[in-house]
Structure 1
Amino acid sequence: MSAQQLADACATLGFPLQRSVLANLENGRRPTLNLSELLVLARALKAPPILLVFPLGEADRVEVVPGHELDTWEAVKWFAGEMPFPGGDQDEVNAWIEASKPIALYREHDRLVEGVQLAIRESAPGSGRVLRESLRKYRERFRQRGLTPPDLPPELQHVDAATGPADPER
């Protein structure tokens, strides 16, 4: 994709970036970009934003904060909330664990939703009931932590409904 094609794609997305700005980013004359620019560029390039931040597969190590290099895969995992910053003391690790709990909740929620959907597709009523109840309880954990659980797909909307069908079978 040329710089002009990328500029046009960004403009189509509602966030115009001049071709000259993109050229300056590409050749290092402009060393930074803001979060909005990063996100629109990722969308225009049809790429995960994290790959615009960390060159996974292209560089073995990256400087993630001044003076601290990491293996690129470790940098990606840290950025995605999958591991604490390497080399931190126990207080830093404990703080990271607490701060990353919402990420773990959302990941487990996705896993439960996928499990219920699979049970429905495979007409496995027993496992479907158990998984739906687990999902309902899990969504309650979100609320207890003051978080809003993700939207449920249409076929699972009943999970939150107190007066909805107790166990719809398919």
Structure 2
Amino acid sequence: MTPHLRMPYVVTVDAGLRDLRAADHLLRTFAAELGLAEGGFGCTHLVRGERPRVVVSLAPESEAELDEVRAWLVAEGYEVTGGAPDAVGRAVLYRGSGLLSGTMTVGEVLSVSAIDRVTVLGTAGRTPSDRRLVTHGHVRPQWQGGELVLTAMPAVGGTLVPFEVAEPTPCCADH
């Protein structure tokens, strides 16, 4: 389920960011400064149009925590709006995100985190729970159809790796 359905308390912050790495950093900073509970969500959202940018949403577990989050953000000078900008956020902060490091089975990923499903590019159906996933400490699932879904791709030795990598090679890097 999307954070707005599962978590009725959501705010969006537009800090004028242009890239995902900066948005990830901002979300981790918010979590540290605010002492956010492990059960909430922090997501990035791409905004297109005349002013393309990345905004972040925070979905704490309670209305009281949301009021504290909103008050702190406003006091820090951030532009805050109620609700999430869309239903397809890319999750950075979620239950168990800090536990997803090294090599784990898909079943372990699903059991220790808020991730509902792991899909593999180019395949149909469920990913076997005993399939090994090498996380590289960077796991960014996205909300799809009400589920938090991690997209993975095949890697060496029959393992999987998350589709999004922490340090992507820039387009045309060798030109």
Task: Classify the TM-score, shorter chain.
Answer: under 0.3
Question: Which structure is higher in strand share?
Answer: 2
- Highest CA radius of gyration, 1 or 2? 1
Q: TM-score, normalised by structure 1?
A: 0.23
| Larger helix share, 1 or 2 | 1
Q: Which has the higher contact order (CA 8 A, sep 6+)?
A: 2
